[in-house]
Amino acid sequence: MTAIGALIGLSLSILLIIRKLSPTYSLIIGAIVGGLLGGLSLNETVTVMTEGVKEVTPAVLRILTAGVLSGILIQTGATTVISNAIINKMGEKRVFMALALATMLLCTVGVFIDVAVITVAPVALSIGKRLNLSPSVLLIAMIGGGKCGNIISPNPNTIIAAGNFNADLSAVMFANILPAVIGLFFTVFVIVRLMPQTVKNKKTMMQTEDKEEERNLPSLRTSLIAPVVTIVLLALRPAAGINIDPLIALPVGGLCGAICMKQWKNILPSIAYGLQKMSVVAILLIGTGTIAGIIKNSSLKDWILTGLDHAHMSDALIAPISGALMSAATASTTAGATLASSSFAETILAIGISAVWGAAMINSGATVLDHLPHGSFFHATGGVCELNFKERLKLIPYESLIGIVLAAGTTILY
C-alpha cells in the first residue's frame, strides 16, 4: 500500500486526538482511513490492523503485570519515601539536581513519568516557595530527570521496544545508562540555567501546604526492596544466563516489596490501582497496534530511508528519527515507541543494526517530542504545578532539547 495513505491516516489520528477524541479510537479511525486510501480493501485493512494488534499483544500482557510493581510502589508510599530521601540528602543548595535525580530514579524503578512528577512535585513546590523559585524551572528539572529515567526503566515504552525487536529488556535498559546520565547533567547544568529561576510576581507563587501526609510511610530500606528485587531478577539473564521474563519479574518484585514493607493488607488495593493505571496504556496500545500495522505494510519506511540517503545521513538514524516522529504523532513515549518499533523493526534489523541498539535508539528517540499539547503528559505535568497553557507551552523547546541529547547520546554510542 502507498505511503500517502498511511500518512493521511496518521495525520487524521493526530487531528482527532487534538480534537479531544479518545486516542485509542482516533488511532483506529486513522488506521481504517489510511488503509482504504492506501489502496487496501476494507477486509484487507481490517486484516492488517488485527495483525498489528497481534504484534503488540505480548507487550500488553507484560505492561498489565507491571501494574503490580507500579501500584505497590505508589500506594504504599515507597515512591514518596525514596524521593524525599534523595531531596533531603542533597539539600536545598542542590535542589535542581535533587529533583531531577529523584524523578529519574522513580522512573528507573518502573513508575510512569507523569506519576513520578506528581509524586515529587509537592516537595519541589514547597522548596520552591521557600527559595522563591519559578514553578516552571522546577517542573523542567523534574521532567528532564523523568525522561532520563524513562529510557532505562522497565516502563511500557522500554518493554514494548525490546519486545518488538526480540531483544533482552535488561540489555536495552543498560544500553541507555550513559545517555541517561549525560541527559541528567545536561538538564541540571544547561537547561535549568537557560531558564529564569526566580518568580518576579509573588502572586504567581504556588500556594502549597507544608503539612505532611498523615499516614504511616515505610522505611527507606524496605521501600527499596521492590525495585532492587526487580532489577536483580531482570539482570539474571545477562549475568547468569537465567531468563526471567518481565511478566514474572515485575510483579514478583512488587510483591516482595509489599511483604517487606509489611503492607500485605494493601496488596489487593495496590494491585487494583496499578491495573487501573496500566489498563489505560494497554487500551492505547491496542489502538496503536492497528495503525502500526498500516504503517508497517506501507512504503513509508522506504520513504524515510530514501530521505536519509538523499540527505547523506546514516541509515542508522532511522531508529531515533522514527521514534521522534511517532512520539510527535501520538504525544506519547509509549505509543511513539510502539509505532516506531513495530513499524520499522524489520527495516532497522535489515540494515545491520542489532536488536538491542535498535530498541534503545527508538526508545530514546521517543522522548524528543512526547510532550506535545495533544497528549496527556503535557496537561498532567502542567496541572500539578498550576501552570497555565501559555506557561506550559514555553517549556516544550527545553523538553525537546533534553530528548535530542538523549537520542543523540544513544546514537553516538552505537
Structural domain boundaries, residue 212: 3-413
> Is there a contact between 341 and 165 (Cβ–Cβ < 8 Å)?
yes
Model confidence band, residue 401 (pLDDT cutoffs 50, 70, 90): very high
Cell of 351: 540494515
Q: Which three cell numbers stand for residue 46?
A: 481490517
| Residue of 29, 41, 22, 31 whose CA lies nearest to 292 | 31
Handedness of CA 100, 81, 277, 71 (dihedral sign): positive
Confidence of residue 19 (pLDDT cuts 50, 70, 90): confident
8 Å CB contact between 290 and 303: no
- The number of distinct structural domains making up the chain is 1
Sign of CA dihedral 42, 43, 48, 51: positive
CA distances from 271 to 8, 61, 112, 208, 226 (A): 40, 15, 15, 30, 14
In the DSSP assignment, the letter for residue 218 is P
CB 137 within 8 A of CB 197: yes
Specify whether the CB–CB gap between 281 and 159 falls below 8 A: no
Report the distance separating Cα 369 and Cα 339, nearest Å.
14
Whole-structure pTM value: 0.75
User: Does residue 342 have a pLDDT over 50?
Assistant: yes
23-36 pLDDT tens trace: 889 889 999 999 99
SS3 state at 406: helix
Q: pLDDT of 187-226, one tens digit each?
A: 999 999 988 776 655 444 444 444 444 457 899 899 889 8
SS3 198: strand
Helix (H, G, I), strand (E, B) or coil at 133: strand
Tens-digit pLDDT profile for residues 54-65? 877 887 887 788
